[in-house]
């Protein structure tokens, strides 16, 4: 909800200080509570809402204010299928009327689909029918608007055309009377509105499916705030709808074989989220948690909550001056760049998904504002979701498997990601993944269009018995929305290119065993170290502002020097021998090439290839390996926070018995190879042994 949009010109306010008073007709069933239900309004410092809010930096006062807000929301509704069944099961007439309304709307749509199927035009008319379904959901009201938005994140349930159209569902619904809103504020907060605000906009500056927002000024602090008020009767409306929808879910689970997902579980999960949105104190707590986790970055803004002006049906938060992220011209007129803001949003989305696992579950453009200072402001924290800890690492591993084109491992990842039950055979899925990704990965990962990737993967998910978890679907939607916004500013923008530095940083620095193993899998192939992959990771990782050179590769080094690293040590020793030899031979070649010609003629027997008996291809490969290692060291040492002391643990370990053994094996291997080179030089043997027993 774009609750706090600067682009709401023409908004006027009632000036309560000037003596102008609201004439509020109280809606039926909405009585004004006692004036002292919270605390009495008065001068600052007397315990008034304003006084307490001014001192919100005081943690104790803030916690007390939050506790009072929670007490006011003690009777907030919680989703319970049993309670809904008891309530509406005894109201057959009301249920029948709403059922008829829904059946007529959805039945006509289903009939059109049946006609399309019989005429063989089902695929051709997908886009048209998706647009019609979006209109039907809008007309059926808040529950179905939310349902449509939920379906727009489920590629396992809907084809791509429906996903795109349902994603466009907006919360913009007709506003409800302002008198009802103002009366509800007084009821919820227990005080006359003129005691709370010195001014408040006479009409809402934003309206959504569950409520509408006013701009106001706190009476005692003068702070400008946004006041969100819940739509009257919304609990009754969505309660009846979910009761009926759940009954439909039972029917689908029992008789519709084509849908493999547990529809009842899906409905219950979604209903619980919508009911959580109805508790504005919960939304305030969500905002506070989100701010604590992610607003530590200077380019992220999350509004403060004013707990003394908040209840189950009223939410008061800091007003944020900003422009919707999809209003490119208005953003650029302030000297800001949409792409910079989108990149900030992508980095924050990745942190939400993969670091803390707590993320914004309603990331449409109206909930993202660009502030005049260039910050990205997040709004509307009613719907939040969480990524399981195991899944966070599995997602990064999934990206590694995609880069390596290891489709068997990608298919197995779906077990860890909870896409598939462990009793499902993934072998039929592998060819489908190969067919799609072999074509998609003809480009580098950073050149891939994220929407194309999601659409292609969505087709695979739709064809097989996948059950896409809500967290995964929602984050895909978030990144797709951000890429869509960026494409308006730059048609060549690629969200994966903007995401890759984060993945590279996590792989290089995260001590999580799963990610450490994924890094080793990425760097080693067929017993050889892929220096080009390490160089690419360092180049990309350095682009992330949180990259730390002192943390890079530390997880791998700990494994290498630990008791469980024998296999990795063997691989590393062989590679260390190759690198050391390359550095020595490269130095010899450089010395030879820089020597005067008469000195070169004095080299051993005037060998045609210089000082070394090596083919041109071998010499070039050796020099490239040496140069690559030097470049990698340069990338590390030139990082802002590089500290040579990061090598201290390695030196300490090398002084221990096992470390000395490791170093001895490397020295022995290098000595053997150099001795073989020298012998070849003397005997003119044209080939060089490619390995040695260490």
Distances (CA, A) of 169 to 136, 365, 366, 511, 692: 11, 12, 12, 41, 66
Spatial contact of 519 and 555, defined as CB atoms under 8 Å apart: yes
* Bridging pattern class, strands 384-386 and 358-360: antiparallel
Q: Which residue has the tokens 């067919």?
A: 435
Sign of CA dihedral 318, 324, 330, 336: positive
Q: How far apart are CA 499 and CA 507, in angstroms?
A: 13
Query: At which residue do the structure tokens 């290119």 appear?
Result: 497
663: helix, strand or coil: helix
| Residue 475: count of CB within 10 angstroms of its CB | 23
How far is residue 160's CA from residue 166's CA, in Å, rounded to a whole number?
Answer: 10
Task: List C-alpha distances in Å: 694 to 50, 216, 520, 528, 672.
Answer: 76, 77, 22, 16, 9
Does an H or E element contain 489, and which? helix 470-489
For 448, the 3-state DSSP assignment is coil
Is 180 noted as a catalytic residue in this protein? no
The secondary element (H helix, E strand) that includes residue 228 is: strand 224-230
Q: Coil, strand or helix: which one is 582? A: helix
Answer for the pair 29, 223: CB distance below 8 angstroms, yes or no. no
Please state the φ and ψ torsions of residue 645, each to the nearest 5 degrees. -65, -15
Tokens standing for residue 561 = 């020097």
Rounded Cα distance between 304 and 53, Å, is 10
Structure tokens, 449: 């269009």
**Residue among 362, 380, 413, 544 flagged as catalytic:** 362
Phi, psi of 6 (to 5 degrees): -60, -30
- Terminal Cα-to-Cα distance of the chain (whole angstroms): 65
Dmax over Cα atoms in the chain, in whole Å?
108
Q: What sign does the dihedral 70-145-1-451 (CA atoms) show? A: positive
Cα–Cα distance, 548 to 542 (Å, whole number): 8
What ranges make up the beta strands (E) of 361-432? Answer: 368-370, 376-378, 384-386
- Smallest Cα–Cα separation from 1: which of 211, 151, 176? 211
Contacts of 609 (CB under 8 A, 6+ apart): 615, 616, 619
Give strand pairing partners of 200: 14, 216
What gap in Å lies between CA 129 and CA 136, rounded to an integer?
10
**What are the distances in angstroms from CA 431 to CA 408, 437, 545?**
9, 10, 38
Which DSSP state fits 206?
Answer: E
Write out the two tokens for 53.
């809010």
Q: Report which of 535, 94, 545 is spatially closest to residue 343, judged by C-alpha positions.
A: 545
**DSSP label of 605:** G
Distance, CA of 323 to CA of 328 (rounded, Å): 9
- Strands (E) across 244-360 are located at 300-301, 314-318, 323-324, 358-360
Residue numbers annotated as active site? 362
């Amino acid at each position: 909800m774009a609750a706090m949009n600067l682009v709401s010109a023409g908004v006027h306010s009632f000036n309560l200080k000037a003596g102008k008073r609201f004439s509020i007709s109280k809606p039926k069933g909405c009585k004004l509570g006692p004036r002292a239900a919270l605390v009495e309004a008065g001068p600052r410092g007397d315990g008034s809402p304003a006084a307490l809010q001014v001192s919100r930096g005081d943690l104790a006062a803030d916690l007390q204010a939050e506790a009072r807000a929670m007490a006011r929301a003690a009777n907030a509704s919680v989703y319970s299928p049993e309670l809904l069944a008891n309530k509406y099961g005894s109201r057959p007439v009301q249920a029948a009327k709403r059922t008829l309304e829904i059946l007529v709307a959805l039945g006509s749509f289903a009939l059109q689909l049946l006609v399309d199927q019989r005429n063989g035009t089902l695929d051709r008319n997908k886009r048209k029918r998706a647009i019609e379904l979006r209109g039907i959901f809008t007309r059926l009201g808040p529950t179905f608007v939310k349902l449509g938005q939920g379906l727009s994140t489920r590629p396992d349930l809907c084809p791509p055309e429906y996903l795109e159209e349902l994603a466009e569902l907006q919360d913009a619904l007709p506003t409800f009377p302002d008198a009802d809103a103002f009366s509800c504020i007084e009821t919820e907060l227990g005080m006359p509105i003129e005691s709370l605000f010195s001014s408040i906009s006479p009409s809402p500056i934003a309206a959504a499916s569950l409520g509408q927002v006013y701009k106001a000024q706190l009476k005692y602090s003068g702070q400008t705030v946004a006041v969100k008020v819940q739509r009257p009767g919304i609990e009754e409306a969505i309660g009846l709808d979910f009761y009926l929808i759940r009954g439909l879910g039972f029917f689908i689970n029992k008789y519709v074989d084509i849908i493999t997902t547990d529809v009842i579980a899906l409905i219950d999960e979604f209903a619980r989220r919508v009911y959580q949105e109805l508790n504005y104190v919960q939304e305030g707590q969500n905002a506070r948690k989100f701010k604590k986790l992610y607003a530590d970055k200077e380019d992220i803004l999350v509004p403060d909550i004013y707990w003394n002006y908040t209840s189950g049906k009223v939410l008061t938060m800091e007003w944020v001056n900003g422009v919707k992220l999809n209003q490119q011209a208005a953003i650029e007129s302030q000297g800001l760049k949409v792409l910079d803001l989108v990149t900030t949003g992508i980095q924050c989305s990745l942190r939400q998904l993969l670091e803390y696992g707590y993320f914004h579950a309603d990331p449409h453009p109206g909930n993202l504002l660009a502030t005049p200072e260039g910050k990205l402001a997040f709004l509307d924290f009613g719907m939040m979701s969480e990524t399981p800890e195991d899944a966070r690492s599995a997602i990064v591993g999934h990206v590694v498997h995609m880069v390596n084109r290891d489709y068997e491992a990608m298919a197995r990842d779906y077990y860890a990601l909870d896409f598939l039950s462990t009793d499902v055979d993934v072998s039929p899925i592998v060819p489908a993944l190969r067919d799609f990704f072999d074509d998609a990965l003809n480009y580098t990962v950073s050149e891939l269009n994220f929407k194309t990737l999601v659409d292609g993967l969505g087709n695979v998910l739709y064809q097989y018995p996948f059950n896409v978890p809500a967290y995964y679907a929602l984050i895909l939607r978030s990144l797709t929305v951000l890429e869509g916004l960026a494409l308006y500013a730059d048609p060549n923008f690629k969200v994966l290119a903007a995401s890759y530095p984060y993945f590279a940083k996590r792989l290089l620095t995260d001590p999580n065993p799963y990610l450490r193993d994924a890094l080793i899998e990425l760097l080693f192939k067929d017993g050889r170290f892929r220096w080009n992959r390490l160089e690419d990771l360092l180049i990309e990782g350095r682009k992330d502002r949180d990259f730390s050179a002192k943390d890079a590769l530390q997880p791998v080094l700990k494994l290498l020097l630990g008791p469980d690293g024998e296999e990795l040590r063997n691989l590393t020793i062989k590679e260390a021998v190759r690198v050391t030899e390359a550095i020595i031979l490269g130095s010899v070649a450089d010395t030879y090439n820089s020597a005067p010609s008469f000195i070169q003629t004095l080299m051993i027997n005037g060998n045609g290839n210089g000082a070394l008996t090596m083919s041109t291809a071998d010499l070039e490969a050796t020099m490239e390996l040496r140069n690559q290692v030097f470049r990698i060291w340069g990338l590390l040492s030139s990082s802002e926070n590089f500290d040579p002391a990061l090598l201290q643990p390695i030196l300490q370990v090398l002084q221990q018995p096992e470390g000395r053994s490791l170093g001895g094996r490397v020295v022995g291997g290098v000595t053997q190879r150099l001795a073989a080179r020298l012998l070849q030089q003397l005997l003119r043997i044209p080939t060089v042994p490619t390995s040695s027993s260490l």
